[in-house]
Structure 1
Amino acid sequence: MNLHFQEGPSRQYLQDMYNSVILKDIVQRNNLRDVDLLERIIGYALNSIGHVFSASNITKYLKSEHRKVSNDTVLNYLNACTTAYLFYKIPRQDLLGKKLLSINEKYYVVDHGLREAVYGHNARDIDQILENIVCLELLRRGYTVTIGKTGNFEVDFIAEKGNKKCYIQVTYLLASPETVEREFRVYKDIKDNYPKYVVSMDELDFSHDGIQHYNIRKFLQLPHDY
């Protein structure tokens, strides 16, 4: 995957930052020799922001690109990226089994402006960018963040801090009754009384059944602890 940089002063600044992180914090610190492989893995992760994937997903993609690499190598390169704070790795937890899951995490980029400069397509991938914004805000506020799996459904974020906890589902628009049903349905099997939110770009309030809906701007302006 070749990464094509956009033009313009701010994008040039972000491009320079990206190159600095790649060369200094990842390649040199970890003594990585295959920079092309690293960039391909980063490109895959940037494309997959907000989507669960595993090392085997990347190895299969690389195989289609005629690059043979082991799962362990992919994991080592991804760990180098998270150690350099290019990405945050968010683990998944089984809400019914009460345990962390060891596969299919999500990765979020430290700055979605960096994603635009490096990979592009932020305007096209607005749903992924909204998730990235919410994730970064939760981390900034000091929450421990995980993804929740409940049966066949998944909650985008579980945010915990001390005795505080909340659930957050992020979507672009609640554009149809089917979309409303899908986004609110994920909470059906979660029986505790912690706050449950659906966050979108909609201006209308779709709150119901004790689940609070917020426009993302209003959600980000809520008091420091949800």
Structure 2
Amino acid sequence: MKVVSGVRRSGKSTLFLLFCEYLRKNGVSNDQIITLNFEDMANEPLRDPHRLYDYLQNKLLPDKMNYIFLDEIQHVHDFEKVVDSLFIKDNVDLYLTGSNAYFLSGEIATLLTGRYVQLNMLPLSFKEFVEWHK
């Protein structure tokens, strides 16, 4: 499980989009990639952990690797139960984003002990921004 945390507008969601694009360019089909952003009101019903798990379970392809991207997962009540259930599946590669306020509180470490790699993102510095625009 990969967890990307950072301040708002630091590029977490964009990183997910870039990685999905990379997967597609390397032969992964669209039906193997599942992305959900929990800041989108269209996904509000899936903030219930049982509904989210059922939704994801129905989308999983049993004979292929499935890449699941859950953006701003802290909006899902008891999300750790969902991600634990997905983590134990051999055909799921799981990616999560969330706010620094939640993930750096230490609560994530308690909930997902030993089952994740965390990447902390920061927005570009002014120097990096200028270099990128050259």
Q: TM-score range by the shorter chain?
A: 0.3 to 0.5
**TM-score, length-scaled by structure 1:** 0.25
**TM-score, length-scaled by structure 2:** 0.36
If asked which structure has higher relative contact order (CA below 8 Å, sep 6+), I would say 2
